[in-house]
Amino acid sequence: MPSPETLSLPPQPDPSARTLLVALTGRDRPGVTSAVFEAASTVGADVLDVEQVVVRGHLTLSVLLTPGPDENVLTDRLTRAGEALGMTVDLVAGRGDNARRRTGRAAVVAMASPLRTHHVAAVANAVAAHGANIDRIRRLSRWPVTTVELDVSGADVPRLRRDLGLVSAETGCDIAVAPAGLARRGQRLVVMDVDSTLIQDEVIELIAEHAGTVDEVAAVTERAMQGELDFAESLHARVATLEGLPVAVLEDVRASVRLTPGARTLVRTLKSLGFTVALVSGGFAEVVEPIAAELGVDHVRANHLEVRDGRLTGRVVGEVVDRPGKAAALREFAALEGLPLSRTVAIGDGANDLDMLGAAGLGVAFNAKPVVREQADT
């Protein structure tokens, strides 16, 4: 094998060299791509760029070539190939490759059920208002939510993230913005809140329905929202209303929990990508752990209810999983997986999640309160 010193790289493409853009459109069928490249190979053309997509059986193939000295022969053979395939061929001669777009690159993900045209229009308008360019759009998922990803260049990423956050709030379309590059690839730890994030419910309220203490729990929650109680104080006060409730009721509560639409698909997709998934909840392990086991979640951190003689005592066991506790759990799970915090993602909806969202490499506000939307990355 030759040493690195003896290896020579080919020269950089000449930005002023003649190029030929081939755009082929029509009904997809086997052999289209091979026919086009076979036609181009007869005159020794080089490939500079290529993009192919099929939507509902309709193919669009774009190829940028260096035509060489036999450009007329090349255009004739490509035209004949297109005609033989029954497809439309557009040939555009020019100079150079695509303009370099190496700065301000971002990935913008838009998700809704259904994803409406005005959602995409609003995202595209925001990108255009920044003077940025959409280089590519692809669909990531179809059901139960439709998700598209836009490759954007020439953007001020923090400003674009802020403005698209406003678009998300106005349109109801979930939008995420992250810098593009290799850092988006590879192993990650994804940590999710549970109540009103992974699930549609608040577990303490479901338990309170069985205890007949919904009004008392709601009153404590209101005091906490007014700043009269911190999370730990409010948790202790709400759990106290559950004293004497048979522990078997928790099985009924678990059965009544409703997953957020797309939650199961999200966890399955993250796991298929090799990501580690964790749940961190200010709720209760007795309900959260069975959900985690069902979904194949790797780590769980939640509060534990004290039980005596088959009934709840109205107390929790151990340290409360509060706002600092959630951030601590994220750090602990990252250390267990050997990942830096820059490789972590946190997803949450409430003020109790803010420390966790701030500690993670990427903080995602999902179905979030205004204070969380303002401080999260997406």
Catalytic hit among 14, 70, 151, 193: 193
3-state SS track over the chain: CCCHHHCCCCCCCCCCCEEEEEEEEEECCCCHHHHHHHHHHCCCCEEEEEEEEEECCEEEEEEEEECCCCHHHHHHHHHHHHHHHCCEEEEEEEECCCCCCCCCCEEEEEEECCCCHHHHHHHHHHHHHCCCEEEEEEEEECCCCEEEEEEEECCCHHHHHHHHHHHHHHHCCEEEEEECCHHHCCCCEEEECHHHHHECCCHHHHHHHHHCCHHHHHHHHHHHHCCCCCHHHHHHHHHHCCCCCECCHHHHHHHHCCECCCHHHHHHHHHHCCCEEEEEEEEEHHHHHHHHHHHCCCEEEEEEEEEECCEEEEEEECCCCCHHHHHHHHHHHHHHHCCCHHHEEEEECCHHHHHHHHHCCEEEECCCCHHHHHHCCC
Which are the contacts of 269, defined by CB distance < 8 A and separation ≥ 6? 141
Cis peptide, bond prior to residue 15, ω within 30 of zero:
no
In the set 163, 195, 349, 355, the catalytic residue is 195
Q: How many residues does the chain have?
A: 378
The backbone region for 374, taken as left when phi is positive above 0, alpha when psi lies in -120 to 50, beta otherwise, is alpha
Beta bridge partners of 300: 279
Beta strands 133-141; 58-66: pairing state: unpaired
Mark whether 195 is an active-site residue: yes
193 labelled catalytic: yes
φ/ψ bin of 244: left (φ > 0), alpha (ψ from -120 to 50), beta (otherwise): left
Round to whole Å and give the CA distance between 337 and 187: 10
What are the residue numbers of the active site? Answer: 193, 195
